[in-house]
Amino acid sequence: METECICRLRKIYKAITAFETQVEASLGVNINAMMLLCLLSEKENLSAGEIADEMGLTRSNASKVIASLEKSGSIRRRICKEDGRSMRFHLTKQGQELLEHVHCDSLQLPEELRKVVE
């Protein structure tokens, strides 16, 4: 049985996990939270469903990331002007400040991932 492909995928997965750990240790938030902050800095007023779609997360996982950032005060929800049943999310000043402290130069992409992205 050919297992080389699966072994390569395992190495990539381990490298991603290590990188996520490094990001969280360096920035104090997980990588999904940072990606959501970045997304909201580019596209204001997204719904939870739009966030899930943009980030490639399930609705449940997106909801957890949203709740975490709301709890920390980094994002805030507003009632949609067009549809009062819908909520839209935006960055707070605290969320913008957190993003400003992200310096990608301090994050080292593992060698296994550098090979993949190059």
Q: Which residue, chain included where needed, has tokens 């290590």? A: 18
DSSP 44: -
Provide the H-helix boundaries in 47-89: 48-55, 59-72
Q: In this predicted model, what pLDDT tens digit does every residue of 6-37 receive, in sequence order?
A: 888 888 888 888 888 888 888 788 889 999 99
Q: Which residue, chain included where needed, has tokens 């709740």? A: 67
Residue 89: predicted pLDDT: 96
pTM (predicted TM-score): 0.78
